[in-house]
Chain A
Amino acid sequence: AQKVTQAQTEISVVEKEDVTLDCVYETRDTTYYLFWYKQPPSGELVFLIRRNSFDEQNEISGRYSWNFQKSTSSFNFTITASQVVDSAVYFCALSEDTASKIIFGSGTRLSIRP
């Protein structure tokens, strides 16, 4: 069975601080996909990244970076030099190749204070 745990319910940091959002997953499949989505206060769900289980390279996109470690079943997301516009709920998600659905974690609410 697939499961995604985002243990941090809420995080609040001051602008310009770095912040890491944790994501731990469980799966029995060897082929699977991990995702991060952002849900800003306006409510839409914005796709951020998709990573397959065979690619453990870290990814950087501007101030965003992702650390995928199969040894610890984690796919953590770091925002460098956070900005107020980064305030949102962030969801980590998992899809097993043999399944027909994506399972979402419970989300981490990130608040960036000016």
Chain B
Amino acid sequence: DTAVSQTPKYLVTQMGNDKSIKCEQNLGHDTMYWYKQDSKKFLKIMFSYNNKELIINETVPNRFSPKSPDKAHLNLHINSLELGDSAVYFCASSQKVGTSGAGSTDTQYFGPGTRLTVL
């Protein structure tokens, strides 16, 4: 059974289009995340949701809109795609522990990644 899954694995699209990436976890975790990995392999957090509530928004352009219909799902919608959005996007989840109450201190388990290419 896949713990954290993402669809699609590959996404090729034209500039200006709108696209979505879906993420699901079956670990029973409370906290989910989206990361962007650029061409130099640098990993940076974009968003974090704890039990469907947004807790981190790392100055990501508002063309990116996460949506969490329930705590097992965190989808990422991107409007008006730009060339610079080309990257690998990773979803992750963790159990809520730690004094911050946001699950930051627990291990994050990652999905397989979605490679987005904007032409």
Q: Which residues of A are in contact with B by a Cβ distance under 8 Å?
A: 31, 33, 35, 37, 39, 43-45, 47, 50, 52, 89, 91, 95-102, 104, 106-107, 109
Contacts and interface: CB of A to CB of B under 8 A. Distances in A.
Query: How many interface residues does chain B have, given as a range?
Result: 20 to 34
B45 interface: yes
B110 A45 contact: yes
B61 interface: no
Interface of B: 33, 40-45, 48, 55-56, 58, 88, 90, 92, 98-100, 102-110, 112-113, 115
Interface residues of B: mostly helix, strand, loop or mixed?
loop
Contact of A96 (B56, B92, B104, B109): B104
Given A31-B99, A44-B112, A95-B105, A101 B88 contact: no
A89 B112 contact: no
B34 to A, nearest CB: 11
9 contacts: A35-B108, A43-B115, A44-B112, A47-B108, A50-B107, A91-B43, A104-B42, A104-B44, A106-B40
The 3 closest A-B pairs by CB, nearest first: A100-B102, A45-B110, A104-B43
A102 B104 contact: yes
Given A45-B90, A47-B107, A50-B107, A100 B100 contact: yes
B108 A43 contact: no
Contact of B45 (A33, A97, A102, A107): A102
Given A97-B99, A106-B42, 14 more contacts: A37-B110, A43-B112, A43-B115, A44-B113, A45-B90, A47-B109, A50-B107, A97-B105, A99-B100, A100-B102, A100-B104, A101-B56, A102-B104, A109-B41
